[in-house]
Every structure is written in C-alpha cells, then in structure tokens.
C-alpha cells in the first residue's frame, strides 16, 4: 500500500520525495551495451565507423550493396573535383596508416573508382571495421523496441530495432544509437519543373538516365548518333554535355540539346578564368566554347511540365518565356536535376525535417541553396544534427535533403562530432575541426564542377 508520507506537493501535484525520485529515475536502459548502428558504407558511413573504432566504441555497419562504396562504383568513371586531401577522413587515415596503407598523392584528383579501390575498400578491411560490416543488408525500417512512434514513456531507454533484409533473408539488429548515412543516391528528382513525378515520365524510364552515364564507355552504343536532351543547369549536366560533345566528334550525327530553367545560359558558366579553383573555371570555359561553336543547342529558360512518349520518341511539353512550347523527336534524355532523401525507413522515428529543403531542420537556414554555396556553409556538428529521437542522427548528403551544397569533408566533420558525443566526449563534440579552402571544395569530374548526384557538390 502506498504511504502518503513518501510524497510532497509540488505545483498542486503529488510528487515523490527526493529519495523516491531517485528510485523512480532508475529506469532500466535496455540499450546499454549495444552497438551504434551506421546505415550506409559510403565515405561518410565508413568515416563514422573509423571514429567510433578509434574511440573504442562498438558499432555495426549496414550496407545494402555488395561492396562498400557501391553507389560510387556506379559513377566510377567520374574524376572528383576535390583532391585526395579533402576526401580522406582524418581518423580513417590514421587507422589506415597504422596498418601499412600507402597514402595517395594528396593533391591528386581521384576518380570514383579510385576512391573506392584505394581508400574505401582498404578502410573496410581493417581488423577494427571488417568484422562489423554487413554487406548485402538492405534496411527496411527502424524503430524503438516493442513500441511505436506515439509512445513516450521510457522511450529514450529502449533500444533501436533495425529491420533489414540480408542476403534475401529477414533479419533484425538492435542498437543504442543510429547514424543514418544512407545518402540520397538512387532517389533522383524528376525532369518536371514542378518536382512532381508524373506517370508518363515514369513510363519512359528506359529512355531516361538519371545521373551520370558512362557516355564514352559502357553507354556509348546507347547515345551515338542519337538526339539527346540533357536536363539541368548544374555541373552534372555539364559533365554529360562535354562527354556527348566528345562522342559527337566520332559520331557526327549525334545531336545535343541542353535544357535549363535558368534565364541565361551564361549563368551556368561560372567564373571561368577568374574562378579560384582552376579546374572548375576550365569547366565553364569549355562548355562556353561548345555553346558558342554551336555543338550544343541551348534551350533556356524552358520549364518542363510534361514528359510523354510520342511517335518520334520523347516529347517535352512546357513553357518558354511565358508561352506554351514543346520539343519532340528526342531519342534519349539525361536528367541532372538533383536528388532527394528517402525517409521511408525512419518513418516510425521522431524526426525534425525542414519542409522546404527536406534537410535536418536545424541545418536549413545554414545550407539553403537560395542563400548559400558550398563555400559559405558554416561547419556544424552533433548539436545541429540532433533529432527529437535521442541518439538518432541523419548525416552526410541525406542531412542536407535537397540542398546541393553538401561537401564530403563536411560529412566527415559531422560524424567526428557525433562519434565524440556518443562516446561521452562532449567537449570534442562541440569543437569545429573542418578545414576547407575559402572557395569550398566540390567533388566532381574535372570536366564538371559541382554535382547534385555525386557525394559532394556545390552550385
């Protein structure tokens, strides 16, 4: 029977006395002793593993692909814009060097393939990481153990349960914290200017490539002597245009259309010779020359309203200078309109996401591409990435939502801070250790600059 002498009145409520408060606060933390779960074994996910391993923290690393950096392999022919020094996480570099790894020439510019083969794969094979890496493991959903999103009582003390499909079989993992570094790759924006996926565009997926095709390699037969529309005003689009122009030299019947929403094509050229980053400036100069020579036909501003199949190929219906217009007879489309995050796996967690950028809410005013470029985004860490769900973090490009200003080095700083916090080193978590050139760093082909689909970019 409850003894009323054990209670005091506070603000009109019966509240346990101090000794009873101490007893009731000793709720069992069911997640204690469990590992941290990292979703995605790309550069940022592996960096998170390196930082946790360096701090003696247990973790599991879940990757849906057959190998680490699986998404990067799909654009392995692209040469990064940023040199090796900005693509190697510091903790990862220390672990690798301690195990006999030979560091690449820091000023060199790796391809995506080289990034995977010379850095990510060796990192994943380290004895402190390899045993905890689960490949072919697609995360289906994440929640709290035996409770749903609505329940609050004792929520923070319950472990996370990760539902996944590993090698075709259903499996669950429990963890005390979750770092979602799944990225946005494989979830592109549509060609339509409204940002809405329409049925006709989906029906034409065999004629539309979203991302960066290997035009001069495996996709050469697909694009030679075809009429191709490249959609997008960023540097992914420019990368495709430059490769198509090279293809046209050998296959002169190839026709190249460049479709943008920009009011002036000149806005896509950037600083050219005035650019502080030489390769980025060279990019603008090259595409400028191709346009002036008539090798690329520019159609701008053109806002696509509908993508549909026609008797002569693909027809684009939209508005140009305020008037209805259409383009027909297109054989192939390459769409570079950016990517968006997929939140379906975390729908049962309490999150705070900005409604416009779809980024972590606290990051939105720092990264809004209407205001910022990659060079003006302020470094940030655990505090800004913190979610209403305790010990759950969205990091990497997914934390930026639709904003194309994410930098790989920024992701490394994010997970350094988060790993420090989860290890109890709150002072280190609050520090800012990001070192970038004033102009920012972009990871894209030398023939391009900033790219919405590569692991780091800027406009």
pLDDT in tens, the chain (459 residues): 334 344 344 444 444 444 443 443 445 667 679 999 999 999 999 999 999 999 999 999 999 999 999 999 988 998 887 889 889 999 999 999 999 999 999 989 899 999 999 999 999 999 999 999 999 999 999 999 999 999 999 999 999 999 999 999 999 999 999 999 999 988 999 999 999 998 788 888 889 999 989 999 999 999 999 999 999 988 788 889 989 999 999 999 999 999 998 877 777 666 555 555 555 666 667 878 888 888 889 888 999 999 999 988 999 999 988 889 999 999 999 999 999 999 999 999 999 999 999 999 999 988 887 775 555 567 789 999 999 999 999 999 999 999 887 889 899 999 999 999 999 999 999 988 876 654 444 433 333 333 333 333 443
Supply 351's token pair. Answer: 């999150």
Please work out, in degrees rounded to the nearest 5, the angle formed at the alpha carbon of residue 41 by the alpha carbons of 443 and 365. 55
Strands (E), 12-136: 13-16, 36-39, 59-62, 133-134
Task: Say yes or no: 161 and 247 in one domain.
Answer: no
- Distance (Å, rounded) from C-alpha 65 to C-alpha 185? 12
Task: Say yes or no: 44 and 177 in one domain.
Answer: yes
H helices present in 251-352, as ranges: 278-292
- Distance (Å, rounded) from C-alpha 434 to C-alpha 414? 9
Task: Say yes or no: 257 and 373 in one domain.
Answer: no
Task: Say yes or no: 306 and 283 in one domain.
Answer: yes
Contact 105, 119 (CB under 8 A): no
Is 443 part of any domain? no
The residue assigned the tokens 């509240």 is 15
Is 14 part of any domain? no
Task: Say yes or no: 111 and 169 in one domain.
Answer: yes
The strand pair at 59-62 and 36-39 is best described as parallel
| Burial class of residue 405, CB neighbours in 10 A (0-12, 13-18, 19+) | buried
Is 438 part of any domain? no
Contact 300, 231 (CB under 8 A): no
Is 359 part of any domain? yes
pTM greater than 0.75: yes
- Distance (Å, rounded) from C-alpha 191 to C-alpha 189? 7
Domains contained in the chain, number: 2
Helices and strands (DSSP H and E) totals, the chain: 14, 18
Distances (CA, A) of 236 to 32, 210, 220: 44, 10, 18
Is 11 part of any domain? no
Task: Say yes or no: 58 and 174 in one domain.
Answer: yes
What is the DSSP secondary structure assignment for residue 104, as one 8-state letter? P
Task: Say yes or no: 314 and 214 in one domain.
Answer: yes
For 112, what's the count of Cα atoms within 13 Å in the CB-facing half-sphere? 21
Task: Say yes or no: 56 and 173 in one domain.
Answer: yes
Supply 23's token pair. Answer: 């007893």
Please work out, in degrees rounded to the nearest 5, the angle formed at the alpha carbon of residue 46 by the alpha carbons of 44 and 52. 105
Boundary residue ending a domain (290, 317, 335): 335
Task: Say yes or no: 47 and 154 in one domain.
Answer: yes
Contact 88, 61 (CB under 8 A): no
Boundary residue ending a domain (320, 335, 350): 335
Q: What domain range is 408 assigned to?
A: 36-186+339-430
Q: What share of the chain is helix, strand, coil (3-state, %, to 5)?
A: 30, 20, 45
- Distance (Å, rounded) from C-alpha 273 to C-alpha 251? 30
Q: What are phi and psi of 18, to 5 degrees?
A: -55, -45
Q: Which one, of 321, 310, 323, lies nearest residue 227 by Cα?
A: 310
Task: Say yes or no: 279 and 207 in one domain.
Answer: yes
Task: Say yes or no: 156 and 255 in one domain.
Answer: no
Is 29 part of any domain? no
CATH number of the domain at 254, please: 3.50.50.60
- Distance (Å, rounded) from C-alpha 230 to C-alpha 250? 19
Task: Say yes or no: 324 and 261 in one domain.
Answer: yes
| Burial class of residue 302, CB neighbours in 10 A (0-12, 13-18, 19+) | buried
Boundary residue ending a domain (335, 367, 383): 335
Is 49 part of any domain? yes
Q: Which one, of 421, 413, 412, 356, lies nearest residue 387 by Cα?
A: 421
What is the DSSP secondary structure assignment for residue 202, as one 8-state letter? H
């Amino acid at each position: 029977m409850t003894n009323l002498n054990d209670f005091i009145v506070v603000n009109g409520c019966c509240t346990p006395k101090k000794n009873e408060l101490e007893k009731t606060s000793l709720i069992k933390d069911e997640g204690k002793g469990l590992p941290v779960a990292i979703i995605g074994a790309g550069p940022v996910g592996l960096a998170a593993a390196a930082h946790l391993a360096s701090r003696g923290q247990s973790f599991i690393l879940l990757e849906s692909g057959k190998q680490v950096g699986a998404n990067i392999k799909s654009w392995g022919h692209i040469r990064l814009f940023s040199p090796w020094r900005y693509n190697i996480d510091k903790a990862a570099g220390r672990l690798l060097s301690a195990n006999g790894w030979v560091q690449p020439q820091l000023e060199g510019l790796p391809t995506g393939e080289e990034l995977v083969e010379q850095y990510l794969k060796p990192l994943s094979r380290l004895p402190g990481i390899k045993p905890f890496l689960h490949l072919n493991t697609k995360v289906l959903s994440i929640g709290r153990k035996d409770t749903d999103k609505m329940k609050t009582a004792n929520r923070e003390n319950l472990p996370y349960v990760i539902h996944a499909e590993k090698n075709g079989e259903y499996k669950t993992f429990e963890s005390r914290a979750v770092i979602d570094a799944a990225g946005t790759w494989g979830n592109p924006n549509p060609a339509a200017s409204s940002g809405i996926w329409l049925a006709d565009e989906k029906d034409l997926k065999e004629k539309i490539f979203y991302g960066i095709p290997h035009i001069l390699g495996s996709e050469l037969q697909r694009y030679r002597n075809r009429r191709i529309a490249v959609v997008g005003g960023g540097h992914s689009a420019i990368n495709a245009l430059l490769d198509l122009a090279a293809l046209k030299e050998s296959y002169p019947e190839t026709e190249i259309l460049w479709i943008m929403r920009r009011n002036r094509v000149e806005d896509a050229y950037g600083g050219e010779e005035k650019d502080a980053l030489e390769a980025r400036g060279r990019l603008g100069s090259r595409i400028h020359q191709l346009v002036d020579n008539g090798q690329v036909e520019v159609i701008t501003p053109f806002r696509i309203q509908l993508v549909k199949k026609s008797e002569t190929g693909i027809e684009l219906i939209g508005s140009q200078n305020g008037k209805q217009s259409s383009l027909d007879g297109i054989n192939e489309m390459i769409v570079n309109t950016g990517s968006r995050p997929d939140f379906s796996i975390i729908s049962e967690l309490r999150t705070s996401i900005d409604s416009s950028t779809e980024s972590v809410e606290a990051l939105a005013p720092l990264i809004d591409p209407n205001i910022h470029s990659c060079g003006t985004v302020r470094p940030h860490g655990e505090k800004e990435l913190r979610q209403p769900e305790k010990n759950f973090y969205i990091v990497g490009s997914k934390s930026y939502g639709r904003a194309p200003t994410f930098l790989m080095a920024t992701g490394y700083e994010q997970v350094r801070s988060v790993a420090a916090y989860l290890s109890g080193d709150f002072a280190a978590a609050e520090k800012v250790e990001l070192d970038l050139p004033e102009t920012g760093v972009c990871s894209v082909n030398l023939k391009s600059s900033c790219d919405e689909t590569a692991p780091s970019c800027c406009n």
